[in-house]
Amino acid sequence: MIRAREEVRFRSAREQDLDALIAIHFAAFPDGRGREARRRNFCDNPRGSLDNLHVAEASGRLVAHGFLFDLQAWVGGRALGVGGIASIGVAPEARRTGVAHALLGHMLQKMHGHGLPLSMLYPFRHDFYRQLGWGLTSAMHRFRVQPASLPSFPERGRVRAAEPTDMGAVRRCYERWAGVRTGLLVRSDEVWQAILSPDLVRVAVVPSEGTPNALDGFLAYRLMPEVGTQVVELEVIELVAVTEAARFALIGFLSAQRDQITRVQITVPPDELLLPLLSDPRAPSGELVRGLLMPSADLLVGAMTRIVSLPAALASRGWAGRDGQIALCMDDTWLPGNAQPFTLRIASHAAEVTPGRRDGVPLLEADPAVMAQIYMGHLTPSQAVASRLARIDPADALPDADALLVTRPAFTLDVF
């Protein structure tokens, strides 16, 4: 056990740390992965290397580890720098000593020093990270439906199997699609290889009409047979469409699998309307609720986001709302530089940010977690104020705040 007087030091991981790192990882994540899979997580991670792995050391012993990846995410049509936190693990003997908080504080200071506007992570427990300023910003609906309940749109005739020469077009299609959404990550060559190279992953594409070597959409999926049964589930890994016609084409492709596929599993962001398209929206084998209500989809919650630098976050993204001004302030004990008000002035979808609150400008106040949710479109200012999660002065400025800060709800397909 770490005693209170022991000093905790932080540094990047080294190859000679691997045995200790794997031991901590086994204790922190007691799942079915073996030693080799855990070694690959540290040494062959598509998002970074051991240089990105920070360790906490007390009395010469490793007591915690965590990745800090250098990522980018699209927000408002621009790619912003994001510190991606992953694999936070603490040795059993060091738990409840504040080591995890200290490691995360160290990472926040690193991100702030590098000028990163945002941080993202997938939590092991939401309340642990929320108290440190990360707010839930990614939600999705997961449907499991019979293929026959999906419409057989005629556009499905445009779909064909991907060829090796299509991979560049797949990436460009994803970038076009991600660039108009909130929260999707910019992907490196290594990440694309990790997503599309496994033998079980299949890709179907929708070629653009009239534009050679371009795609309007693609579908990455895999087939998952249930052992000992004739049930085969098609899991959609990604359905990306930059036009409505391409989306209909890919949905029609899924519908056409009805003779060989028992059910389709597909996950969509909350603002993507799949439910109205389903002829039978019931989940397979779903139990009735209160006698007559039928389950249709699961609500999944995923990534959390933290604002690392409020002025940088406001200045570096694009804004789709109306022109105007609003001051924002968040009480940030971990990064006190964020605690003062900043006035955001939007003109022609571009931002100017100045310290302080200008005379006559409305002020929106929230804690860092809620401010991140507003920033990423998970909450509108009106929703946050109505839930007593934020305050605005004057109260009648809420409609203007909603119109200024509007953005599509965030979600991300990448798990790290």
Q: What's the pLDDT score for residue 1?
A: 45
Same domain, 103 and 195: no
The pLDDT score that the predictor gives to residue 257 is: 97
Would 220 be classed as within a structural domain?
yes
Q: What is the pLDDT of residue 290?
A: 77
pLDDT band of 38, cuts 50, 70, 90: very high
Q: Helix 35-43 to helix 18-28 angle, to the nearest 10 degrees?
A: 110
pLDDT > 70? residue 44: yes
Q: What is the CATH number of the domain that holds 175?
A: 3.40.630.30
**Exposed / middle / buried, residue 32 (Cβ in 10 Å: 0-12, 13-18, 19+):** exposed
Distance CA 373, CA 305 (A): 8
396 and 259 inside one domain: no
Whether residue 197 sits in one domain with residue 48:
no
Q: Confirm whether 92 is domain-assigned.
A: yes
* Residue 4 reports pLDDT greater than 70: no
Domain-located, residue 154: yes
As a whole number of angstroms, the distance between CA 355 and CA 344 comes to: 9
Domain's final residue, options 81, 116, 151 = 116
Give a yes or no: residue 411 inside a domain. no
Check whether residue 204 and residue 319 sit in a common domain.
no
Same domain flag for 94 and 50: yes
Domain termination residue (choose one: 260, 277, 301): 301
In 197-290, the DSSP E strands lie at 202-207, 215-225, 232-241, 263-268
Averaged pLDDT of the chain: 94
pLDDT at 272 over 50: yes
Say if CB 38 and CB 22 are below 8 A apart.
Answer: yes
**pLDDT band per the 50, 70, 90 thresholds, residue 360:** very high
Is residue 332 included in any domain, yes or no?
yes
Residue at which a domain ends, from 279, 301, 323: 301
Residue 297 domain flag = yes
Domain, as residue range, for 264: 141-301
Quick: pLDDT tens for 231-267: 999 999 999 999 999 999 999 999 999 999 999 999 9
Q: How do residues 273-312 score in pLDDT, each as one tens digit?
A: 899 999 999 887 767 887 788 889 999 999 999 999 999 9
Same-domain pairing of 279 and 393: no
The answer, yes or no, to whether residue 403 has pLDDT greater than 70, is yes
Output the pLDDT for position 66: 98
16 and 102 both lie in a single domain: yes
Q: What is the mean pLDDT of residues 170-187?
A: 95
Altogether, the residues listed in the chain come to a count of: 416
Let me know whether 150 and 255 are in one domain: yes
Task: Quote the pLDDT of residue 321.
Answer: 84
Q: Are residues 315 and 296 in the same domain?
A: no
List of residues 6+ apart from 69 with CB closer than 8 A: 47, 48, 52, 83, 84, 85, 86, 416
Asked if 68 and 90 sit in the same domain, the reply is yes
CATH number where 391 lies:
3.30.1050.10
How many domains does the chain fold into?
3
Same domain, 184 and 290: yes
pLDDT score for 6: 64
Q: Is residue 122 part of a domain?
A: no
